[in-house]
């Protein structure tokens, strides 16, 4: 029985764990696999819990039923046995009472045999004995009556004999084991006094075996366990199938919402019937509809806005061209005007140019927003490009008293990039460095590794506070509004530079500390790939602003020749934003 | 002799201002504000150069460009408010020689016009040979055998530039400087589009060019003389 109960949970666990086992050959992985299933699969967990609880309940019920049946079987057998024994003993006593042996040993012996015959006839067992209670030897007493080899099968305990000897009026019984060969069968011994004439008190013991009841009990118990185990398995299977109808829609819903979250706005849950899942499906679909329409609305709105900015920029261009031509013409003749008008003409001309720059920056930004920018890649050497830009900005640097130096340990081999945009980035960074460099030297570093080419522009100027660094790429943001704008950018320069860098799959990083200056690093992946790992030019410079420039490493003053080409270069990108304020 | 320039632009203020600038520089100007009439005006006035706005009422600049090109190689410079790739390329493919993005300054405009009106001086009387073509520089004529191939002045100049130094590979920047007069980084699409147009006229199989060959990653060179 005990073994049966131990087997029940083990046996029930097997079907649930089987799919996992067939996947995993190595038995040592099973515990991990089962634990994983337990965490991951609602169905597995629920089925397992259901099985365990059902098994426990059925076990308790079976044990209780088995015990009840056992008791009932024993009690009824015991009552039957007692009645049987009573009938036999009453008949035996009647036989004894009617006899008159007259002290003859032979007659007494015959009397006992006759009594034995009566008992054998009246009771259903032939396993009995009659023992004389008085142990004193008697000359006429025949040997004790033993039937069916009683002594060799059954041992009557001394306590029972004492109880039977002590009370003549009662029947006593005791459960014993009947030894048959080397196996024992449960049995009941019933004992009672009989009065034998002339010989006094005899004790009658009748032994009944319970083999039939035992067999019945065994059969009933076996049936119980078989039915119990069957029930557990059945309930497990039912739970498995019922849960499947629940977990499958849940899994479907989880998949669908994951796809929706990933941006597939068109996905919907199938709605079947009227149950809770149908309700879930309907509300999910309603949510998806609403998200889709709102995203579409926002996208439309932003498209309209982008188109508006683009249209405005374009529409402004024609009148601006007229103004530009007129302003230029008037400015060319300012010598003919009085000083105030001449100055007005100068201002008009300068501001028209600024307006133009602002407009083209705005247009560029609107192109990024619209995602309509296309790179025109050609193999370009970043080091040579940096050299060009430094040369073209030589005059500006000189005006601010900044010494611009190029350090280029690498980055000479051509890389696929859009030179117009990269030149614009470098010009912008350098312009910022010159404006904020406080007349101190500026170091431009170009280097490369296997995946990346990088360009750093380091100034030793006033630097920026950390909260300013965060906003440095924001549109129209300025580090210090109170500072006068000497170069006069549009406030869009750095955000355009960042846009250009990202368009190349690259990145623009910044380091700055008040009093130590700033370092802007442009990183571009080779062959239009993705940026990986570290920059060949460190974003955080390990140098010290107080160190003399000659200690900075491999710096070398570059040979700057202000050529015609360089001079006109600054003019060439009239439609491309040039050096702006740190914006 | 003063050059006559046709300004096709629907914005009268801009057209007038351009007129002022050009007259100051000694050009003669004619105006047309309606795209639909532009071709007629061009036929009656026979200007030396057309400044053509791309966005016009009636007929757009690209269409006008195509119609004019069908009859003449007169230099056409587009005025465009859009720098979007598609528009510019479409304009160049329809036959415009050059383009200027609004807003522009007067010096830039005048420089562009002068380049187109006065092609770089060529050594007179020279006969160049490229592939199976004969180029008569003085007569401005290109012949395959006895057949004369009609080229626009720009295309002719491009071919002469390549043919006069058959050993040299010309980068797009060099051609921009020599043929278009840009002394700084400009739009290399100008070169690409015009090389395609030139090939369409002079090559027997434009997909397998023999006259203007591409040197990958560098530029173009003239084909070997046959």
> How many other C-beta atoms can be found within 10 angstroms of the C-beta atom of residue B77?
19
Q: Nearest C-alpha of chain B: how many angstroms from A427? A: 14
Q: In whole angstroms, give the CA distance from residue B120 to residue B177.
A: 11
**CB burial of residue B218 (10 Å; 0-12, 13-18, 19+):** exposed
Q: State the pLDDT at residue A269.
A: 87
Q: In whole angstroms, give the CA distance from residue B192 to residue B85.
A: 13
A373 at B interface, C-beta within 8 A: no
pLDDT digits (tens, 9 = 90+) for A283-315: 999 999 999 999 999 989 888 887 887 788 778
Asked if B1 contacts B12 with a C-beta cutoff of 8 angstroms, the reply is no
Q: Which residue in the block uniquely carries the two structure tokens 């009989």?
A: A194
**Checking DSSP bridges between strand B4-8 and strand B28-32, what pairing results, if any?**
parallel
**A573 by DSSP, 3-state: which?**
coil
> How many other C-beta atoms can be found within 10 angstroms of the C-beta atom of residue A487?
18
Q: In whole angstroms, give the CA distance from residue A289 to residue A203.
A: 97
Listed by start position, the domains of chain A span 103-215, 267-373, 375-572
Tell me the residue ranges of DSSP E strands in A412-543: 415-417, 442-448, 452-459, 507-513, 517-525
Q: Give me the mean pLDDT over the A142-163 stretch.
A: 80
CATH fold of A267-373 reads Helix Hairpins (1.10.287)
Residue of A306, A311, A320, A325 to mutate for B, most B C-beta atoms under 10 A: A325
Q: Write out chain B residues lying below 8 Å of A565, CB-based.
A: 183-184
Asked if A580 contacts A431 with a C-beta cutoff of 8 angstroms, the reply is yes
Q: Options 3.40.50.170, 3.30.450.20, 3.20.20.80, 3.30.420.40; which CATH number does A103-215 get?
A: 3.30.450.20
A303 at B interface, C-beta within 8 A: no
| Whole-number average pLDDT of chain B | 86
**A35 by DSSP, 3-state: which?**
helix
Q: State the pLDDT at residue B30.
A: 93
pLDDT digits (tens, 9 = 90+) for A143-153: 787 877 777 77
| Interchain proximity A572–B184, CB inside 8 Å | yes
- Give the largest CA-CA distance in chain B: 54
The set of residues, in sequence order, having a beta carbon less than 8 Å from that of A406 and lying 6+ positions away, is A383, A386, A387, A390, A443, A444, A445, A446, A556, A558
Asked if A143 contacts A151 with a C-beta cutoff of 8 angstroms, the reply is no
Q: State the pLDDT at residue A302.
A: 83
Q: State the pLDDT at residue A481.
A: 58
Q: Which long-range contacts (CB under 8 A, 24 or more apart) does A134-143 make?
A: A134/A200, A134/A201, A138/A199, A139/A105, A140/A103, A140/A104, A140/A105, A140/A108, A140/A198, A140/A199, A141/A105, A141/A108, A141/A199, A142/A105, A142/A108, A142/A109, A142/A112
pLDDT digits (tens, 9 = 90+) for A311-355: 887 788 889 999 999 999 999 998 999 999 999 999 999 999 888
The set of residues, in sequence order, having a beta carbon less than 8 Å from that of B147 and lying 6+ positions away, is none
pLDDT digits (tens, 9 = 90+) for B58-97: 888 889 999 999 888 899 999 887 666 677 888 888 889 9
A351 at B interface, C-beta within 8 A: no
Q: Is A100 left (phi over 0), alpha (psi -120 to 50) or beta?
A: beta
For residue B15, what is the nearest residue in chain A, using CA coordinates? A322
Q: In whole angstroms, give the CA distance from residue A516 to residue A487.
A: 22
pLDDT digits (tens, 9 = 90+) for A466-517: 888 888 888 877 766 555 555 556 778 888 899 888 888 888 999 888 888 8
| Whole-number average pLDDT of chain A | 80
**A525 by DSSP, 3-state: which?**
strand
Q: If you count residue pairs, one on A and one on B, with CB atoms under 8 Å apart, how many are there?
A: 71
Q: State the pLDDT at residue B83.
A: 61
pLDDT digits (tens, 9 = 90+) for B111-144: 899 988 876 555 556 788 888 888 888 888 888 8
Q: All domains of chain B, ordered by start, with CATH? A: 4-117 (3.40.50.2300), 127-222 (1.10.10.10)
Tokens of residue A545, six digits: 């602003």
Q: State the pLDDT at residue B1.
A: 63
Tokens of residue A81, six digits: 């046995």
Distances (CA, A) of A172 to A146, A160, A340: 19, 7, 143
Q: State the pLDDT at residue A485.
A: 54
Nearest to B103 among A317, A329, A571 (CB): A317
Across A115-119, A533-537, A563-567, B156-160, least confident range: A563-567
Q: How far apart are the first and last CA of chain A?
A: 86
Q: Write out chain A residues lying below 8 Å of B22, CB-based.
A: none
Asked if A573 contacts A424 with a C-beta cutoff of 8 angstroms, the reply is yes
Tokens of residue A109, six digits: 């012996």
Q: In whole angstroms, give the CA distance from residue A483 to residue A418.
A: 33
CA A189 remoteness from chain centre: 68
Nearest to B105 among A324, A374, A573 (CB): A324
Q: Write out chain A residues lying below 8 Å of B82, CB-based.
A: 314
Q: State the pLDDT at residue A5.
A: 40
Q: State the pLDDT at residue A486.
A: 52
Alpha-helical runs (H) found in A333-370: 339-370
Nearest to A317 among B102, B109, B188 (CB): B102
Q: State the pLDDT at residue A25.
A: 60
Q: Nearest C-alpha of chain A: how many angstroms from B146? A: 41
| Interchain proximity A318–B24, CB inside 8 Å | no
What CATH number was assigned to the domain covering residues A375-572?
A: 3.30.565.10
Q: What percent of chain A has pLDDT over 90?
A: 14
pLDDT digits (tens, 9 = 90+) for A402-436: 888 888 888 888 888 888 889 989 999 998 888 88
Residue A263 DSSP label = T
Q: Write out chain B residues lying below 8 Å of A317, CB-based.
A: 81, 102-103
**A145 by DSSP, 3-state: which?**
strand
Across A14-23, A134-143, A393-402, A445-454, least confident range: A14-23
pLDDT digits (tens, 9 = 90+) for A54-90: 999 999 998 999 899 889 988 998 898 889 888 888 8
Q: Is it the case that residue A578 has pLDDT exceeding 50? A: no
Q: State the pLDDT at residue A64.
A: 93
Q: State the pLDDT at residue A549.
A: 52
Q: Nearest C-alpha of chain B: how many angstroms from A462? A: 34
B150 — pLDDT class (breaks 50, 70, 90)? confident
């Amino acid at each position: 029985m005990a073994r049966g109960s131990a087997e029940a949970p083990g046996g029930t666990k097997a079907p649930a764990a089987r799919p996992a086992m067939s996947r995993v050959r190595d038995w040592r992985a099973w515990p991990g696999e089962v634990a994983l299933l337990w965490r991951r699969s609602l169905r597995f967990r629920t089925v397992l819990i259901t099985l365990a609880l059902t098994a426990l309940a059925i076990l308790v019920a079976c044990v209780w039923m088995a015990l009840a049946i056992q008791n009932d079987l024993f009690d009824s057998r015991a009552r039957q046995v007692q009645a049987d024994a009573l009938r036999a003993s009453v008949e035996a006593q009647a036989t004894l009472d009617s006899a008159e042996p007259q002290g003859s040993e032979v007659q007494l012996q015959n009397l006992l045999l006759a009594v034995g015959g009566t008992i054998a006839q009246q009771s259903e067992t032939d396993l009995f004995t009659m023992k004389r209670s008085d142990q004193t030897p008697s000359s006429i007493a025949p040997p004790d009556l033993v039937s069916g080899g009683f002594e060799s099968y059954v041992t009557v305990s001394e306590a029972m004999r004492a109880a039977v000897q002590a009370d003549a009026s009662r029947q006593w019984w005791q459960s014993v084991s009947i030894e048959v060969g080397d196996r024992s069968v449960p049995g009941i011994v019933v004992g009672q006094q009989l009065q034998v004439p002339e010989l006094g008190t005899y004790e009658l013991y009748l032994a009944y075996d319970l083999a039939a009841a035992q067999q019945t009990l065994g059969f009933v118990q076996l049936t119980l366990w078989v039915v119990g185990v069957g029930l557990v398995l059945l309930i497990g299977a039912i739970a498995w199938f019922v849960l499947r109808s629940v977990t499958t829609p849940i899994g479907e819903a989880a998949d669908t919402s994951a796809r929706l979250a990933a941006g597939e706005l068109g996905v919907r849950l199938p709605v079947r019937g009227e149950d809770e899942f149908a309700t879930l499906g309907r509300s999910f679909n309603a949510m998806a509809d609403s998200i889709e329409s709102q995203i579409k609305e926002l996208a439309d709105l932003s498209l309209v806005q982008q188109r508006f900015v683009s249209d405005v920029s374009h529409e402004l261009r024609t009148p601006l061209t007229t103004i530009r031509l007129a302003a230029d013409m008037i400015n060319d003749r300012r010598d003919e005007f009085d000083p105030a008008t001449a100055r007005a003409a100068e201002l008009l001309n300068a501001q028209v140019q600024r307006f133009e720059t602002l407009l083209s920056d705005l247009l560029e930004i609107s192109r990024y927003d619209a995602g309509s920018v296309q790179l025109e890649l050609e193999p370009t050497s970043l080091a040579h490009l940096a050299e060009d830009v430094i040369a073209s900005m030589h005059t500006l640097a000189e005006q601010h008293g900044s010494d611009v130096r190029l350090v280029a340990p690498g980055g000479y081999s051509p890389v696929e990039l859009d030179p117009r945009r990269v030149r614009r980035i470098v010009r912008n960074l350098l312009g910022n460095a010159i404006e904020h460099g406080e007349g101190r030297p500026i170091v431009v570093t170009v280097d490369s590794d296997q995946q990346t080419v990088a360009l750093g522009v380091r100034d030793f100027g006033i630097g920026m506070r950390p909260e300013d660094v965060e906003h440095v790429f924001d549109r129209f943001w300025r580090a210090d509004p109170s500072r006068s704008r000497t170069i006069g950018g549009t406030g869009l320069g750095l955000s355009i530079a960042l846009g250009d860098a990202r368009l190349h799959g690259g990145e623009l990083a910044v380091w700055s500390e008040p009093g130590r200056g700033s370092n802007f690093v442009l990183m571009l992946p080779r062959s239009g790939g993705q940026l990986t790992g570290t920059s060949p030019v460190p974003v955080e410079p390990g140098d010290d602003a107080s160190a003399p420039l000659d200690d900075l490493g491999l710096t070398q003053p570059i040979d700057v020749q202000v050529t015609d080409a360089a001079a006109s270069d600054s003019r060439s990108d009239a439609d491309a934003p040039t050096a702006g304020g740190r914006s | 002799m003063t050059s006559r320039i046709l300004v096709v632009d629907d914005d009268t203020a801009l057209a007038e201002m351009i007129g002022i600038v050009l007259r100051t520089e000694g050009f003669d100007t004619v105006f047309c504000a309606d795209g639909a009439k532009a071709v007629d005006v061009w036929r009656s006035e026979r200007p030396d150069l057309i400044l053509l706005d791309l966005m016009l009422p009636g007929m757009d600049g690209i269409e006008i460009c195509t119609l004019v090109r069908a009859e003449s190689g007169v230099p056409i410079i587009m005025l465009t408010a859009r720098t979007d790739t598609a528009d510019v390329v479409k304009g160049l493919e329809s036959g415009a020689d050059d383009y200027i993005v609004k807003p522009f300054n007067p010096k830039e405009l005048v420089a562009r016009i002068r380049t187109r009106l006065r092609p770089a001086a060529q050594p007179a009387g020279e006969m160049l040979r490229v592939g199976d073509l004969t180029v008569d520089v003085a007569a401005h004529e290109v012949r395959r055998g006895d057949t004369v191939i009609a080229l626009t002045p720009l295309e002719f100049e491009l071919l002469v530039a390549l043919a006069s130094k058959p050993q040299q590979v010309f980068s797009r920047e060099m051609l921009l400087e020599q043929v278009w007069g840009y002394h700084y980084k400009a739009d290399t699409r100008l070169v690409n589009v015009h090389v395609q147009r030139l090939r369409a006229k002079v090559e027997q199989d434009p997909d397998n060019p023999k006259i203007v060959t591409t040197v990958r990653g560098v530029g173009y060179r003239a084909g070997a003389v046959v």
